[in-house]
Structure 1
Amino acid sequence: MALNVENIKMIRDVFPEVRTLYVESFKDEGVTFPHSFLERFPMLKKLYVENSSFEKVFSPQDEIIDFMGKIPPFEKLHIAYLDQLKSIWKDDSQLPPIHQNLIKRLEVESCHSLVMLAPSFASFQNMQKLFISGCHQLVYLVTSSTTKSLVSLKWLGINDCKKMEEIVLHENNEGVEGGITLNQLQRIELTDMPSLKMFSSQSLTFEFPELEVIEITGCHEMKMFCPGALETPELSRVKIEEHEMKWKDKKDLNKTVEMLCSAKV
């Protein structure tokens, strides 16, 4: 089902069979996301929010307290062409885990004003696929504490984010002192990010026990993966621009990135 600002006002019934909902074309200045209508779709699995003027999607708890237990536990969130969007989850929002922990797939496309993907306390324990593209105000993707929660992530893809300098920003947090392990991550794709320098600029230890493929294209400032220790026992393919290296044995990822980056000059 697709709802815009005109027909959403006519919705009165409950739609228990709707699994995919598009919320689109809310163009009025200062318009807010219509949380109250989501309770009419109790079996919702996929939520698409597109072509609207929302500055945020999920408001702070005190603004939507009446709907906290009624918003369905959707598994996929797709956000696209929200030119005014500053944040998806507000810094002071304490949404119940159902809206972060149960999301399996998050896609954010062409949100040119987005300055923060998620607050530092965000937890995405069931996230399997994360794709971001065309978000030119993002300087980093997620904090180290949020990254530590991505225990189910299998595929990370980031494309055309002009200002992004690193993927993981390390904040002073005792919970990540022992390093970050992403047990399920199999594939990393980083494309067309002219400001990207490293995956993380701090000396964090990253363990990727299932990582098989890394592809980096159009990230000309990137000279190494990260300064910290890396564990990538299953990594078999690294591709930077048209240069590719396939491994049969465990190799040094940082040295490989440095070598392939030198080869592309």
Structure 2
Amino acid sequence: MLKKLKTDGSALLKVVASEHLRLIKGANGNEQPVLLGKEVIPNLEELELLNFDDIDRFSPDLFQEIKVFVARGGSRSTSFIFPFVRRFYNLDSIELSDFNFKYVIPCKGDVGTLSPIKNLKLGHSKNLKHIWRKDSELGHILSNLQTLTVRGCNDLINFRASSSSLQNLTILNVSYCKMMTNLVTPSVLKNLVQLATMRVENCIKMTEIVGNEGDLHQTIVVSKLKCLQLSNLQSLTSFCPGSYTFNFPCLKELVVEWCPRLKIFSEGILSTPQLQRVKQSHYFEKWSWTSDLNTTIQQLYIEKVQS
């Protein structure tokens, strides 16, 4: 039985409305006649829509088995997306590309009816300045996320979030966000209590990963982070410029490649008890280590300047 479908809204509507029989190969390899609109579509697990003509005309109970939803908006507003997604009771993953987030809609009704999303991808979208916004559907989704990938969202400033947002996040990938100067604040980083992997790549204006905020002498424990990758960040000068105390008890893999201005990891006290090397490429086995992380980063910078 068909489990994955890629189409546009108008074509899908025609399929749903069709009463014609189609021959579909079953699990035993034999062809059998089925009604696409009544037998196939309700059993789909993955749906990719290229545009959204007439989506309000779909029956609310049509997409109950959908687990993965991919939408490509062609710079259209997101205002209609989340009401539509509420129909997907088993939804696990969402990918939204080429949308305009200027009008991120507020939550309406019972937000609990929105399926707990575990994986979210946001790509090449306009006017997405902050991932979290109070009382928005997008903000509500964040609290259940395990994986968040953001790529090519050039208006994104940083990952401002509430204390309850992103608390279940284990993987964070950010790339090609050209207006972003820092990724998170210390308070946001402290709330990423499940974060195990962070990758930041090709953000040309990013000068630091963690920006300064409030008390510069606080201790920040990133308890579960095991892998940190910083790649092609041409303006990056440090992981954090403040005098915070950073503790990374589980960090085992650090990749720093094509970060020509990176002079020091952090200004304050730094603890990385399990880290034994800094990889200079995630493709090749090229690495360095000189007594501790800050000294290693400083040595790599000196070598770049002298080369």
* TM norm structure 2: 0.75
State the alpha-carbon separation in 1 of the partners of residues 143 and 302 from structure 2.
40
Q: List aligned pairs for 1:53-64, cutoff 5 A.
A: 53-55=100-102, 57=104, 59=105, 63-64=106-107
What does residue 147 of structure 2 align with? 105
Q: Does 1:24 align with 2:67?
A: no
1:204 aligns with 2:244: yes
Which ranges of structure 1 fall in alignment gaps of 5 or more residues? Answer: none
Change (3 A) 1:136 1:147: same
Deviation sequence 1:163-222 (CA, Å, 0-9, x none): 11111113116xx85411111111111111111111011011111111011111121111
Q: 1:80 to 1:56 in 2, by over 3 A?
A: farther
The amino acid that maps onto 1:39 is R
Pick which of 203-212 and 45-54 moved more: 45-54
Runs of 4+ in 1 over 4 A off after TM superposition: 94-98
Q: Are 1:88 and 2:131 counterparts?
A: yes
* Secondary structure of the corresponding residue to residue 263 of structure 1: helix
Q: Distance in 1 between matches of 2:56 and 2:48?
A: 13
Contact residue 244 and residue 260 of structure 1 kept, 8 A? no
Paired residues for 1:253-264 under 5 Å: 253-264=293-304
Aligned positions, number = 254
CA distance in 1 between partners of 2:276 and 2:52 (Å) = 49
- Distance in 2 of aligned mates of 1:172 and 1:233: 27
Q: What are the ranges of 5 or more consecutive residues in structure 2 without an aligned counterpart?
A: 1-46
Aligned pair in 2 of structure 1 residues 33, 26: CA closer, same or farther (>3 Å)? farther
Cα deviation 1:207-262 (Å, max 9, x = unaligned): 11110111111211110000011111110220246862258xxx421011101221
Structure with max Cα Rg = 2
* Residue 252 (structure 1) aligned to one of 292, 295, 300: 292
| Displacement after TM superposition at 1:96 (Å) | 9.7
- Report deviation, 1:53: 2.4
Q: Match of 1:143? A: 185
Q: CA deviation at 1:43?
A: 1.0
Q: Which one is further off, 205-214 or 76-85?
A: 76-85
CA deviation vs aligned residue, 1:38-88 (integer Å, no higher than 9, x gap) = 21111111010012223365x4xxx32225222211000100111343333
SS in 2 for 1:35: helix
Quickly say closer, same or farther: Cα 1:123–1:13, change in 2 above 3 A.
Answer: closer
Amino acid of the structure 2 residue aligned with 1:219: C
Aligned-partner Cα distance in 2 for 1:133–1:67: 33
**SS of match in other structure, 1:259:** helix
TM-score scaled by structure 1?
0.86
* Residue pair 1:33, 1:54 contacting (<8 A) in 2 also: no
Aligned with residue 157 of structure 2, among 115, 137, 141: 115
Q: CA-to-partner distance for each residue in 1:21-45, whole Å, 9 max, x for gaps?
A: 11222434x5525221121111111
Cα separation, 1, equivalents of 2:135 and 2:58: 27
What is the identity, as a one-letter code, of the residue corresponding to 1:137? M
Q: How far apart, CA to CA, are the structure 1 residues paired with 2:288 and 2:236?
A: 21
Counterpart position of 1:66: 109
Task: Show the counterpart of 1:160.
Answer: 202
The residue type paired with residue 88 of structure 1 is I
Q: Share of identical aligned residues, percent? A: 30
SS at match of 1:145: helix
